[in-house]
Every structure is written in C-alpha cells, then in structure tokens.
Structure 1
C-alpha cells in the first residue's frame, strides 16, 4: 500500500531512535551523552567489543565506524528484525501510537480480492491434509515414511495429498460455498478451453503449501506419486498472489532462523529444504522449482548477507551454481556475497543428512567456496595454459567476467584475487632487480624510516593524501561530502589511517573538531608540520570553504588518476611477455591521457575564482559525485 505524504516524517519524529536501538544494544556510559542524544555502543551488526556504533538521536541517524552500517529507525528495524519495509513501518507505528493510514478504494478492493484468494488456498491446504490421513493417502504416507519424515514433521510442514481424481477439490470447496471463479483465479483449478466445468490442477501428488514471508498461503506445490508423470514437481501458476520468481519456499521461518544467527542455505527443492530444517538448519529456502532469479537473489540478501548455495554435486548442480555466479556478478555490493557448498557427486542435501547426519552436512557447509573460486575453476579446470595465446585467452575471459561487477571496490578485489590465481597458475615470480657489476645495491630503509611517507615509491601519492586529510580536518563541514571517497582510500601510512578514522567519526558529530583532536591530534600535528601541507590553499585559507571544496575535489581526482596510471603500468609489466602489442600500448596511452586531464584543473588554467563561483561550484559537485572521476581501468 502507498503511504500519504509526511506520514513517514511524522513517524520518525515521534519515534526515538535511541529507544529503538536500545532494545538491541548496551550503551557505553563513558562515551554516551544522553542529554545531547549522542549515544555509543558496540555494533549490533557485527561482532566487536569497542563502542564504534554511534546514534545521533536528534538527527535520527546511526552509523558504525567498523562495518559502516548506517540508516534511521526504519532501516534499523528492517535489518535487526529481518522484516520488509511496510512491516517495519507497522512495528514503529504501533510503538508510536500512530494508526496506519486508510487505504484508497482501488487498493482496498485489490487487497480484498487477495484476501479472498488466500482464504481459498488455506481451505485447499486443509482439504489436502485430510486426504493424506484418509484411505486414499496410504501410498503417500508410505512414501513420506520412506523419506524419514515423521507424522509430526508432516504436520509441521502441513503436507497433504491430492488423490488422482478429476474434481475432488473442486467439488469439496464448491460445497463450502467457494465460487468456481475463485478456484480458477487462485490457480487451484483449471477451466477447459471450451468453457466447461473446471477441474483440479493437482492430481495424484503430495502437496506442499507455499507461504509468503508473512506466513500466508499463496500457492501450492505438488510432487507426483507416479514415477512416469510428465512433471515430477508442479507449482501453481502465476496469479495475483503468486509469482514464483519473486518468492522462496520456507521464506518466513528461514528469515526468523537467520535473524538468530543461522547461515542462510539455498537448497534445490521442497524435500531438501524440509530435510535440512528438520536436521537443525532452519534458515533454509528453495527457489520453487526454477533457476534462481534476480528478485530471489535480492530476497536472499535481505535475509542474510552471504547465503550458501547448496546444490547437488553432479554436473547439473555445478551448471546451476555457475548460472547463479553469472547472475550475481553485476549485483554484488560490499557486504553482500555468495558461497557455494559442493555436495558429493550423486547426493543431494537430503541424502547427505540421512547418510551422515547433521554433522556431515555441516562439514560441507564449512568448506563452502567463495564465488571467485567457482569462477576460476570454470575457466581453468581441465585446460592447459602452456602458451602465451592460451594464457591471453584466459585473461580476456576472466577480465570480461570481472568487468561485469558494478561495485568498484568489489571489482578491484576480484581483479586482485584473479591475478593472484593467474600468477600461481603460470608460476610467475617477481624478478630480482639487476645491479651493474661493481655497483652497490640500493640501500634498504632503516626500521626508523620504513614507516615514513618517503620510504616508498608512492611518496607523491602519500603527500597528496596528507594534504587532503589535513584539509578536511581544517574544513570539517566538508567531511560528509567526501565521506565515500574517504572510505575507499587505500592508505598505507599509519598517520593517514588514524586521521581518516577520526574524520569519519567526526562526520556525524556535533563537535567534529573535538573528535578529531581527541582521536588524531598527534597524527594531524605531524601532517600539518609538512611544508607542502602548510602552504596548501585549504590550510592557508581556513575561511574559504568553496576554495577548499574545489582544491580537495581536484586533489582526489589527481590521486585517482595517478594511481590508475601506476596500476596500469604494473599490470602491463605482468602482461608483457615479449613485444608490446597495440592493445597494451593503447591502455598505457589512455591512462597517461587520463592523468593529464585530471592535472589540467581550473586553477591551473588561471581562472578568477571571484568571477566564476557559480560555474566552479557546479564543476565541484560533479567531481564529488564521481561523474568526471578518472577510472582505474581503461
């Protein structure tokens, strides 16, 4: 349902974020200031002992400086309770004493129709459960007993049986006053093409109710008793209630179990899900007889950040796992991933639990592989890379796969992991640096200087980083604008890391300078003592915020460009096995041109800042948003 304007704003105003969060955490009395609504606690989203989780009660905003979780009261309820958006709104509205808004007539009519269909399917569930207990259900009971499913477990999962009769369900529910149209619209019955009397969709099958995340029956699934049936498993059709590509079997119970810390397991079918849940793996779901869809994958990530795909160990199961890898690559985000539990050949989760018990499946679960490993195995197993051409083909295939990842941070780490595996495959080892005969080797930095910024080849980058961090410390109001860039910075120097941590914590503090001084006073003092930092425009002009924004944005762009050139050169050195080809020289030329473009700043062009403030502000906004940032890859 849609919410009227200002409803959510009023809800957030009435609800105290510290009270909502306080149900899940223990506040740190030494750091918290309840009078100012400045509260600190260990983060409820990841295991830690320090109080890095900050709640600003006045702004209604929380942020963790460890795992970077952030949001408001609604997002906190959604994440900690594993509920959807509207469910979180209802929970907070009850707490605030606010009635949920009335529905509009069209939406009310649509919802009433859905409620009728749900009631019809619930009646069908009851009917099929009775049929399982009847004389007609003897063979079905024997089959379930052979699958080690006790009568109590059958009741827990509301399993039923549809006898092989043409209109058994139709006549039974018509006798209860349910119309034929509702039976057809719910997907339980089929109307013949000639417009005759509808007949049952499920016949001669064991019935599994399919429920949504809130526990409402939305469809049925059936397993054929006849081994020669055309379809071993049959789901209900697409209806106003049911879209099989957007639902998961056992969604609600699995969400609750995952909220208590169990890993989310994705099995192939109904019986695998039931077997694993009965064995103690309650956070198990199945994709309703279809290949996993993008919507189902997003549903899984809402339940758990790293679901484990447990598919059969045969060739079909491996192919299904690789399809999931291809589906997931463009959707990956920081914190969301997949792992793959590869079962022994010829066994599904149900077989493994019966043969080895829960501990046997737990071993497979503990050995689950990350996505990058499966991707690597697909392109390398059974192949030989004994020539430059074959290795080049492998590089091209893997680069194309990694390029599909939209998130730049994850793409970078995948690229590093793939290159590391390639080096192992080809036996690459860094060459020893050649020294002319009679020349002394280059001196190794002493222990006292190894931590200094000038001891590495990246000293120019480190000097630029020092100016950026110091500039943000002086112009603390700009930290929020550059927060994403700060989080993604690759920092090597300890002072840089200390100051960045302090800046991120100060970003959402009422007293940012105090936070910076307390947590990074000495590191900032050392950086401010550097000549190039003292003479930089943001430091020399502490009152000119616009100038500082421009300088910092341009320095960040130059930093990204310089690192892009360095990484391209490093990769080119690894790729170079003989003469440089046109593609390699083109990449290096593009990287050099990108660096030159970043270096041609508006200040370098001699613009009058006083005459062009508006244009400069627009230019800076685009820089900060990343619209003209230099990419690290050509």
Structure 2
C-alpha cells in the first residue's frame, strides 16, 4: 500500500466527515446520519445527506456524492493532489511518507521532466539552422511573431531520422528515457532507434506546475503523413487528462471561472495572443470525461469554440455530453465565415472574439440540432420520425428528469410536433390523455422497460470486468482511451478504474463492489461478467482481451455503417452526396470484414 493510500485511510479513520463538512454546510442530525442544504445546487428543502458511519455524502437532488476527499475537490474546486494537501494541513497528518520504492519512482519521473525540458530547448535551438529558418518563416507567414514563438516555447524537429538520436542523446540511459517518452522509436530491438518527430513544428505540452510533459508536432508543408502527431502516454503524461496551454491559462480560468476549449494547439495560441487567456486544447485524443472533471474543478462555465466543420461538430457533441454529466454550464460558440479559431483570430481583436462568445448558443440547442440532423418543421414525415427516434434514444441516457423534459420540449418545438404526443411515446404510453405542457416530473417518472443490452455494450462491460480481475491488462490503456464508449455504465467505470489505477489505489472485485460512489446499477451490470474461475495463464488473458478490443472495433464500424445507411434514406440528399456516403460505407465494410474474418479464424463467438 503506497503512502497516499495510507494517508487516505488514516484521514478516514481519524476525521469524521460530518465534522469537516459541517465547517461549510449547516448540518442537523437525522438518526445516525446528518442532513442539510446541498452546497452544490440551490434548494430549499434539505436533500444533502452525510453518512457518518460510512464516511460519504450523497445529495438526492443533484446526485452529488463522494467521500471527504471528493468534497474538498468539488467544494473548494481543487484537484486531487491539492485536496490531499488541504486535508494534511487541516488534520496535521503528514502527507509525504514515501517508501524507498516510491522515492525511486519520483526520482525517475523527475529525470524524465528534466530530460523533456532539455529536448524542448534543443527543438528551439533548431530554428538557428538553415532548415529551422524555413520553419520560422512558415510560423511568421502564419501570423506569429518571434517573441510569441518564444513565449509558447515553440521549436522545430529537423528532417531526418537520426538528429535527436545522434546529436542530442549522450548515453544509453538517455536513449531509454527518450524511448519511454516516445521521442525515439524502434522497428525492433535489434535495430537502432530513430526520431519519432521529424520536420515538424514542435509545441511543448507544459503542465500546471510548469513541467514539460509531452510534445505535439505539426508537419511542415504538404505531406502524406498525419498533420499532427503527439507524444504517447508515459509515466509523466496522460493525454486523456492533459490540456495544451493550461500552464498559461490556469490563473485566468480560476479568476474568471470560465474556460474556452478549442480543438488544436494553433487555435489556443491564436486566441491567447489576442488576450483570450483562459483558452486550452485537449491533445491527441477526443474530449474525455476526465477532461470534463478537471475543468469542473477549475471553472463554472465552459465555452466550446470548435472548428466549423463536421468533425468540429462531432467533437463539440462529445464534449457537451461529458460536461453536461458534470453539471457544468456549457455554451457553443459558432465561428463566423466557416473559419477555425486561429484563422479567425488573425483578423479580429479581443472585443470581436468576445462578441462571438456572447452570441454562443446553449448546449441543449446545439445538441438537439445535431441529433435532429437538420430536421425542421418543413421536413418530410420520414425525416421527422428518424429525428424523433434519435432524440428519444439520446434522452434515455440522461439522468435528470428535468433535462429529459427540456430536450423533448425543444425537439418538439423544432419539429413542429405536439410535446404531449412525444412525451407519451417516450413513456411508452399511447391512447391516453395528453400530458400538460408543464409536466410534474415527480409523478411522470415512470420506469421504462429494461432493454436487452446491445452486443457492443456487452463487449465493453466484459472488458471492464477483465480489467478489474487483472490489472496487467491496463497496459492496453492507450487503445481503450481511443475507443468511443456506447454503454453509459462502461464509460463511467472506465474513467473510475483508470483514475484509481493512475493513483495507485487498490483494484479488486471485492474493492470495487464495495464502492459507495459507483451507482448500484452499474455494479450490477459489471458483476455479471466477472469470471468465476479466471484463467491463470497471463498470455491467455491478454489474447482474450485483445480479441475483445478487435470485436469492439468491428461493432463500432457496424454502428457507423448503420448510421450511414439511415443517412442514405434521406430524400434530400443529392446524387453526389449519396455517392460520397456510399463510398464511406464501402470503406467501413472493408475494414469491418477484415476484422470479422480474423475473428472467425479464431472462432470468437459474437456477444
């Protein structure tokens, strides 16, 4: 057990949760527990319960829950390490009691931070070469100034495969560090390593403590290679929890309680240099629920300023889904003229950019527009029906009845359909009297018939169950982070388990099933997939897990294909648009069939 776990256990033993929370929230005894007005949402009737014997709190209104550490994080709006410091100061219990192994691990991480910092300086010095002059000219032509390049620590990775390997690396130990950080790669162990970043503008990723943890590289000029590549996850970098520009933006975010989220590093640079200081960008991965939780600890409002294209809309939709679950006020800023944030910032000042934020639309309006896919009052009946089905499927994933009603009402308004009719269909009621516009959600909270889990949901739950039973499988974390989860419980549990894994906290079947901060229905869905007699062969477990990852990819491709088939049925599509959709379907089918054939050879049964 590591020192942090020892510290947490001691705090839980020696500090009553009601005494700490009572410093901020007036509590009254109710039997063995305490109740009060919830500090996380406005209410007149107390629904905030503190369970003294179990050491956790729960609000039956907004569903906020957790232990004493979660309370510090959410109430005082700090991250997990800071919550430990606050409680250490409050209790007098020393925080840092590290074993020799942990101290050695810290030394290794510190060496990686220092190595990355040296690499950052090396990339900056490359601007002094002839190739670097071309790279600097590119940045100047894009609209940056040399002093701004220095402020953001931007550098350049030279063309060729052996620059870093031969001109910078001093020893075998440094080679190993460069490989651990993803700066060097090998085809196999018998060959020399080569530079991962080549002929790219290098943007250093710097954490909130000012440490260089990774790099994002943009290709210089036209190339068949990916426009951006990013450092892989390492012991000092987790891309699902990191933001570009957080080091420069954090003070402004905490001061204004507002954060601007853009898609790319150039977008963040462009807005920051125009005085929009609270701007950040996720790196190398889709927006995750971990990103949402980090922003929740820093801000009360998030403005998404994504690119004005289909990919930007998809990214915004995903981000809103996670941010809504955290109860954060979300707005969507639509960029005029179809430009991306960086290009727009080049010809507009801070006041004009702030005007775009002021004209931003609510998250619910944006989400419904995306769900309905352009369906309006004038649309054909078939188009409206397809929109209603998609809207209902989305609303079913929501936890709050008030949110469900808001989305159904707004959707009915956009389609020109009676809200009472949609509401009846949503509840599975037909031929009954119409519901009033202002529905009493307490009386209409009828439980929908439970649907059989889809194959992709079962696949995700099986993967999470295997992770609980074998932590060695977390070596596939990077592949899981790239997945789109379709099952709400699996998405929640993955974030929960991965956080515990990164924090070094114990993970076992008994430990997880005893957790009070995991919804019981989620635990029930997970428990059904534990192996009663797990195979002890590590290689067999890895093979089984890899097959599940492939199966999930296959099912994901089939889901995308079905969406495109639905799109093909839209009578408003032009011939060229239908050809484009058909081409996408053909490509997805080809990818699906490759996986399907491989799985068939392994005789993997579909879930």
Using the size of structure 1 for normalisation, the TM-score is: 0.56
2:134 to 133, 139, 153: 139
Distance change >3 Å, CA 121–CA 568, structure 1 → 2: same
Distance change >3 Å, CA 14–CA 384, structure 1 → 2: closer
**What SS does structure 2 have at the residue aligned with 1:3?**
helix
Tell me, in whole angstroms, the C-alpha distance in 2 between the residues paired with 1:142 and 1:15: 61
Question: 1:391 deviation in Å?
Answer: 4.4
| Residue matched to 2:289 | 294
Question: 1:592 deviation in Å?
Answer: 13
2:335 to 330, 340, 343: 343
| Residue matched to 1:8 | 11
Question: 1:310 deviation in Å?
Answer: 0.9
- What 5-or-longer segments of structure 2 have no aligned partner? 28-36, 437-443, 450-518, 522-607
1:418 to 386, 402, 408: 408
Tell me, in whole angstroms, the C-alpha distance in 1 between the residues paired with 2:431 and 2:292: 33
Tell me, in whole angstroms, the C-alpha distance in 2 between the residues paired with 1:255 and 1:332: 22
Question: 1:228 deviation in Å?
Answer: 2.3
Question: 1:311 deviation in Å?
Answer: 0.8
Tell me, in whole angstroms, the C-alpha distance in 2 between the residues paired with 1:271 and 1:153: 12
Question: 1:304 deviation in Å?
Answer: 2.7
- What 5-or-longer segments of structure 1 have no aligned partner? 22-26, 33-41, 432-562, 577-587, 594-624, 628-634
Distance change >3 Å, CA 375–CA 626, structure 1 → 2: same
1:420-454 CA deviation, whole Å, 9 max, x = no partner? 441464265999xxxxxxxxxxxxxxxxxxxxxxx
1:476-526 CA deviation, whole Å, 9 max, x = no partner? xxxxxxxxxxxxxxxxxxxxxxxxxxxxxxxxxxxxxxxxxxxxxxxxxxx
1:368-425 CA deviation, whole Å, 9 max, x = no partner? 22232123223152556667665444332211110011x2x2x433323422441464
1:54-100 CA deviation, whole Å, 9 max, x = no partner? 9x9x9999999999989887556534764321222124424655432
| Residue matched to 2:157 | 162
Tell me, in whole angstroms, the C-alpha distance in 1 between the residues paired with 2:431 and 2:297: 37
Query: Is 1:404 aligned with 2:397?
Result: yes
| Residue matched to 2:366 | 374
| Residue matched to 1:246 | 241
Question: 1:355 deviation in Å?
Answer: 1.3
**What SS does structure 2 have at the residue aligned with 1:174?**
coil
Report if aligned partners of 1:313, 1:348 keep a CA contact under 8 Å in 2: yes
1:216-274 CA deviation, whole Å, 9 max, x = no partner? 22211111223225122111123333332332222344343221115211111111111
Question: 1:204 deviation in Å?
Answer: 1.5
Query: Is 1:188 aligned with 2:183?
Result: yes
- Name segments (4+ residues, structure 1) moved above 6 Å: 13-16, 18-21, 42-48, 58-73, 563-571, 590-593
Question: 1:18 deviation in Å?
Answer: 9.6
Query: Is 1:103 aligned with 2:98?
Result: yes
Question: 1:349 deviation in Å?
Answer: 1.0
**What SS does structure 2 have at the residue aligned with 1:166?**
coil
Tell me, in whole angstroms, the C-alpha distance in 1 between the residues paired with 2:156 and 2:384: 56
| Residue matched to 1:598 | none
Tell me, in whole angstroms, the C-alpha distance in 2 between the residues paired with 1:385 and 1:296: 38
**What SS does structure 2 have at the residue aligned with 1:264?**
strand
Distance change >3 Å, CA 61–CA 245, structure 1 → 2: closer
**What SS does structure 2 have at the residue aligned with 1:206?**
strand
| Residue matched to 2:108 | 113
**What SS does structure 1 have at the residue aligned with 2:229?**
strand
| Residue matched to 1:489 | none
Question: 1:315 deviation in Å?
Answer: 3.3
Report if aligned partners of 1:268, 1:287 keep a CA contact under 8 Å in 2: yes
Q: Which has the higher contact order (CA 8 A, sep 6+)?
A: 2
Question: 1:6 deviation in Å?
Answer: 4.0
Report if aligned partners of 2:412, 2:419 keep a CA contact under 8 Å in 1: no
Question: 1:348 deviation in Å?
Answer: 1.0
